[in-house]
Amino acid sequence: MTVLRLYAREAGGRFEDLKHEMDLSECGGVCPAPGDHIMASWSGEAGTVWDVKGRYFKAKGFEDYIVLIVEERDARPDEIDLF
């Protein structure tokens, strides 16, 4: 089973482990690529989106482990209907 582990880029350029893992099935069975958007959470009329900025394969020596570099943001009004 391929595991997607989420990281964010800190202001100094280093990566921060967000300690959040996802299965490929949560992304339609495909690995998100830079430029893709992941609907993270939703509550009422608001939501959170992760914009994928980068991805690294075979991180930490695990063949089925992929790191996604994401940037979290509030969903735009036109995206709310997607949640």
Per domain, the residue ranges of the chain are 3-82
Residue 63 pLDDT greater than 90, yes or no: no
The predicted structure's pLDDT at residue 77: 87
More confident residue, 7 or 1: 7
Nearest partner of 71 among 10, 1, 5, 30, judged by Cα: 10
Residue type, 6: L
The predicted structure's pLDDT at residue 61: 66
Please tell me the distance from the alpha carbon of residue 54 to that of residue 13, in angstroms, as a whole number. 13
**Six token digits for residue 10:** 């800190």
| Tens-place pLDDT, residues 31-49 | 999 999 999 888 877 889 9
Nearest partner of 80 among 58, 49, 52, 51, judged by Cα: 49
